[in-house]
């Protein structure tokens, strides 16, 4: 946990010290030590600095007294209205900006390496894979859960132990300027853009604007830093070709095929043919910068796309001079988090819980995964809407219906505002593939109970707001109640 002197907090924030009570055992702002930053009185620890954030429905300034009682040693406030006496107070105009400045100050002071990851989809799985890949060769700290906005990123940096070697930061966004804000806090040594898709196109209007928003990550990239991108992403290749990348930035590609001879790059990671060993997806790969190293990647997962994520982790590790065998061990130790590709067996029926979120690309990838897992048995998909697609919503839902039919699923159970478009997509390919439409998850679960048999596989996938994973509990409780009766 980050330690500061009160003078360092003042220097970082530009704030004004309005209270520094007597009786501090002769301490001065230069010798007054703060042990960690807290923005929540429910988790505050003795010796912390309490920083009073303000949100739509709360004002942290009102909790200043509670923070002092719970052990805060100093406060950062934007008003003295609720300030208790006999505790140092740093007054600032905006506490959120103050938090960002403290995080930036700490990042630059500690000088650990930083990897920033953004993209339209796959950010979290790439973050987790990269952290895992590096974990056997250095001390890694990474974003937890979905703490990928300016507050979550700042707290991630501040919570990193002082002996951390590399911080892996996920950077999320909805609008232009948000990645810019994050990268100027983090100052990454390595920037990763996983892809340019259509997530948030409702807000940004076009894939070009989405790309421009993601490229903001380069604004804070340190001079001579590394950018890692997938070669297959045409939007990012065009950014390189058209001079949208700073001339000092090194460029590394991940790819499933050798790059054309006329493509210039500083680093590359190339995967060979993918094969399956038990529960692991495997491939041999070559990766490096001035020269390529052979690696054998074995990942315990159901999604073939994780090979691409592993290539990112390997490139980051080689860039930081981690031994290849350590990187192989780290990749092999990868474990998915949350409602991401979690395979659950409920009385003989296998559910692939991938309900954390959904976009067109991840939806079609999940269809391929459930079809591959099911093999000769039946594969069904329970899906609902993909949100924030704006004017292309109907088209994209039509396309995933078409993909479901092309991949050869045995049935689609669908609800939401675009179920007609999904069915139209299916029918453009197949008149036989069953499509069942529902108004809610309870109806969908009732149909599942009648439809699936032992050995069948079921995908749960939709934007997070639909909480499709709750079908697991409903289905499980009904099935088990039936068995017990």
Residue 293 lies in a domain: yes
Residues 171 and 236 in one domain: yes
Q: Which domain holds residue 381?
A: 342-484
Residue 215 lies in a domain: yes
**What does the pLDDT read at residue 308?**
95
Residues 75 and 161 in one domain: no
Domains in the chain, number: 3
pLDDT at 449 over 80: yes
Residues 183 and 273 in one domain: yes
**Predicted confidence (pLDDT) per residue in 225-261, tens digit:** 999 999 999 999 999 999 999 999 999 999 999 999 9
d(CA 384, CA 461) in angstroms, rounded, equals 7
CATH number of the domain to which 322 belongs:
3.40.1190.10
Residues 251 and 368 in one domain: no
Residues 227 and 346 in one domain: no
**What does the pLDDT read at residue 482?**
62
* Distance separating the N- and C-terminal Cα atoms of the chain: 53
Residue 337 lies in a domain: no
Q: 31, 65, 95 — which closes off a domain?
A: 95
**What does the pLDDT read at residue 21?**
67
**Predicted confidence (pLDDT) per residue in 276-323, tens digit:** 888 899 999 999 999 999 999 999 988 888 999 999 999 999 999 999
Residue 124 lies in a domain: yes
Residues 159 and 77 in one domain: no
Q: How confident is the model at residue 485 (pLDDT cuts 50, 70, 90)?
A: very low
Residues 349 and 325 in one domain: no
Residue 199 lies in a domain: yes
Residue 235 lies in a domain: yes
**What does the pLDDT read at residue 24?**
61
pLDDT at 339 over 80: no
Residues 122 and 143 in one domain: yes
> Which backbone phi and psi does 257 adopt, to 5 degrees?
-135, 155
pLDDT at 483 over 60: no
Residue 101 lies in a domain: no
Q: How confident is the model at residue 332 (pLDDT cuts 50, 70, 90)?
A: very high
**Predicted confidence (pLDDT) per residue in 83-92, tens digit:** 998 899 999 9
Residue 232 lies in a domain: yes
Residues 356 and 405 in one domain: yes
Residues 170 and 241 in one domain: yes
d(CA 128, CA 171) in angstroms, rounded, equals 13
Residue count of the chain? 485
Q: Which residues contact 204 (CB under 8 A, 6 or more apart)?
A: 175, 176, 210, 213
CATH number of the domain to which 24 belongs:
3.40.1390.10
Residues 267 and 382 in one domain: no
């Amino acid at each position: 946990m980050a330690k500061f002197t009160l003078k360092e907090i003042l220097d970082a924030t530009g704030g004004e010290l309005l209270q520094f009570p007597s009786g501090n055992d002769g301490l001065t702002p230069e010798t007054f030590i703060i042990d960690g930053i807290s923005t929540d009185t429910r988790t505050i620890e003795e010796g912390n600095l309490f920083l009073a954030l303000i949100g739509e429905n709360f004002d942290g300034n009102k909790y200043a007294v509670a923070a002092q009682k719970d052990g805060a040693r100093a406060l950062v406030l934007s008003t003295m209205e609720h300030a208790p006496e006999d505790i140092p107070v740093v007054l600032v105009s905006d506490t959120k900006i103050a938090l960002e400045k403290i995080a930036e100050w700490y990042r630059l002071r500690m000088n650990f390496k930083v990897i920033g990851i953004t993209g339209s989809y796959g950010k979290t799985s790439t973050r987790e894979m990269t952290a895992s890949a590096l974990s056997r060769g250095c001390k890694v700290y990474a974003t937890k859960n979905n703490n990928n906005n300016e507050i979550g990123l700042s707290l991630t940096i501040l919570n990193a132990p002082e002996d951390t070697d590399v911080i892996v930061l996920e950077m999320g966004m909805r609008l232009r300027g948000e990645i810019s804000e994050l990268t100027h806090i983090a100052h990454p040594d390595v920037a990763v853009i996983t892809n340019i898709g259509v997530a948030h196109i409702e807000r940004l209007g076009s894939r070009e604007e989405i790309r421009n928003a993601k490229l903001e990550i380069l604004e804070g990239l340190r001079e001579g830093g590394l950018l890692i991108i997938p070669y297959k992403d045409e939007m990012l290749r065009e950014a390189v070709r058209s001079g949208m990348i700073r001339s000092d930035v090194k460029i590394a590609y991940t790819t499933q095929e050798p790059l054309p001879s006329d493509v210039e790059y500083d680093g590359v990671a190339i995967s060979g043919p993918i094969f399956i060993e038990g529960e692991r997806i495997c491939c041999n790969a070559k990766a490096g910068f001035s020269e390529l190293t052979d690696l054998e990647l074995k990942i315990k997962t159901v999604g073939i796309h994780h090979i691409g994520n592993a290539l990112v982790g390997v490139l980051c590790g080689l860039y930081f001079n981690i031994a290849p065998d350590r990187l192989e061990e780290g990749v092999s130790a990868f474990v998915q988090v949350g409602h991401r590709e979690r395979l659950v067996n409920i009385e003989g029926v296998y559910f692939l819980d991938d309900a954390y979120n959904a976009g067109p690309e991840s939806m079609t990838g999940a269809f391929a995964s459930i079809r591959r897992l099911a093999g000769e048995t039946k594969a069904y998909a329970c899906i609902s809407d993909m949100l924030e697609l704006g004017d292309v919503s109907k088209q994209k839902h039509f396309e995933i219906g078409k993909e479901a039919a092309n991949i050869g699923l045995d049935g689609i159970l669908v609800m939401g505002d675009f179920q007609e478009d999904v069915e139209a997509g299916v029918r453009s390919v197949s008149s036989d593939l069953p499509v069942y439409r529902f108004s809610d998850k309870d109806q969908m679960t009732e149909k599942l109970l009648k439809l699936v048999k032992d050995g069948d596989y079921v995908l749960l996938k939709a934007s997070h707001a639909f909480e499709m994973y709750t079908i697991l509990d409903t289905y499980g409780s009904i099935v088990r109640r039936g068995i017990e009766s």
